[in-house]
């Protein structure tokens, strides 16, 4: 399967962002991409740097205008598209939601972000209700996609549950960056930790993985902080964590790469982690924390 990760900067105008998304996906289609992946909340700036009730006006229903536009493009190109939207489910009820448009344009499925951060510059709990659809892969013309979103990428449980449900590839639309005031060595540690933990999910589950991040500097609208410099570095790795392709830290990119879904079968035969799991001994995982006794 040939896939494309669309790593871009974002501006305030949603229509301009969507036009640039479509242009990049058409570029990927001309290179033979069968699956196109857009970054987290790609229709606008990453608005969670501040808490502002006016931002809820950006949310949209699903199905809605963006799924209609991208569905039409998917059908035109014969491409499966993974998009990331601010979903308005009802008044006062919003989600950070990934949608999958199949190659015939239909809405094949959605995933609502399960793990919601609340950290300086990432005030997502103000905007997003935790997902309630579970960890279910989406069946498409190109395969069964295990779509998760950003903060989910740090949690091995999410990747494992997608793998146990038969996902053939793990996909993470993402918006993550540096505090520009952090020292260079701290910035390097953060980026490397982000890459390393996801490569670990690929290895532990014997699956290829694609992480699509945004890029560029976005100021804090409140002026309280130094803003966020998104570190790009979108990448694809194979089921042994091997890099197949990686985008720059500081430039837009249409990253096109071939992924061999059948290779997972060979890897899982030599590293049968699913066979050797001690499912009889993992009950404590259902507890928040195991207090010393």
3-state secondary structure of 119: strand
Convert 113-138 to b/e letters by CB count within 10 Å (16 or more is b).
bbbbbeeebbbbeebbbebeeebbbb
Token pair, residue 61, equals 């229903």
113 is catalytic: yes
Burial degree of 40 (CB within 10 A; 0-12, 13-18, 19+): buried
Residue keyed to tokens 């990448």: 235
3-state secondary structure of 162: helix
Q: From the candidates 40, 87, 124, 218, which is the catalytic residue?
A: 40
Q: From the candidates 10, 48, 150, 212, which is the catalytic residue?
A: 150
Q: From the candidates 10, 48, 87, 113, which is the catalytic residue?
A: 113
Calculate the dihedral angle through the C-alpha atoms of 162, 168, 170, 173, rounding to the nearest 10 degrees: -110
Give the DSSP per-residue string, 64-115: SHHHHHHHHHHHHHT-EEEEEEEEEEETTEEEEEEEEE-TTS-EEEEEE---
Q: CB–CB of 171/234 below 8 Å?
A: no
Token pair, residue 60, equals 């949209």
125 is catalytic: no
183 is catalytic: no
Edge-to-edge order in the sheet of strand 228-231: 177-178, 228-231, 215-218
Residue keyed to tokens 């910035």: 187
Residues with a catalytic annotation lie at 40, 113, 150
């Amino acid at each position: 399967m040939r896939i494309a990760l669309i790593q871009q900067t974002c501006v305030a105008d949603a229509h301009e962002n969507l036009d640039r998304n479509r242009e990049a996906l058409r570029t990927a289609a001309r290179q033979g991409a069968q699956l196109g992946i857009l970054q987290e909340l790609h229709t606008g700036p990453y608005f969670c740097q501040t808490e502002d009730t006016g931002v809820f006006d950006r949310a949209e229903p699903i199905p809605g205008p963006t799924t209609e536009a991208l569905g039409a493009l998917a059908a035109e190109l014969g491409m499966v598209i993974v998009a990331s939207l601010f979903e308005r489910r009802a008044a006062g009820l919003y989600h950070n939601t990934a949608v999958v448009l199949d190659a015939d344009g239909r809405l094949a499925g959605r995933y609502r972000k399960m793990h919601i951060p609340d950290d300086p510059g990432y005030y997502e709990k103000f905007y997003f209700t935790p997902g309630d659809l579970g960890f279910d892969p989406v069946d498409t013309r190109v395969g069964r996609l295990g779509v998760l979103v950003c903060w989910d990428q740090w949690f091995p449980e999410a990747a494992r549950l997608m793998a146990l449900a038969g996902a053939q590839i793990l996909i993470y639309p993402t918006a993550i960056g540096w505090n520009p005031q952090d020292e260079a060595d701290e910035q390097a540690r953060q980026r490397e930790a982000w890459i390393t933990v996801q490569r670990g999910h690929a290895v532990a589950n014997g699956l290829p993985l694609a992480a699509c991040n945004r890029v560029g500097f976005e100021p804090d609208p409140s002026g309280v902080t130094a803003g966020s410099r998104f570190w790009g570095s979108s990448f694809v790795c194979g089921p042994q964590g091997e890099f197949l392709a990686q985008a720059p830290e500081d430039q837009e990119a249409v990253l096109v790469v071939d992924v061999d879904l059948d290779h997972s079968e060979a890897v899982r035969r030599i590293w049968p982690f699913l066979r050797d799991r001690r499912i009889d001994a993992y009950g404590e995982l259902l507890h928040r924390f195991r207090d010393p006794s």
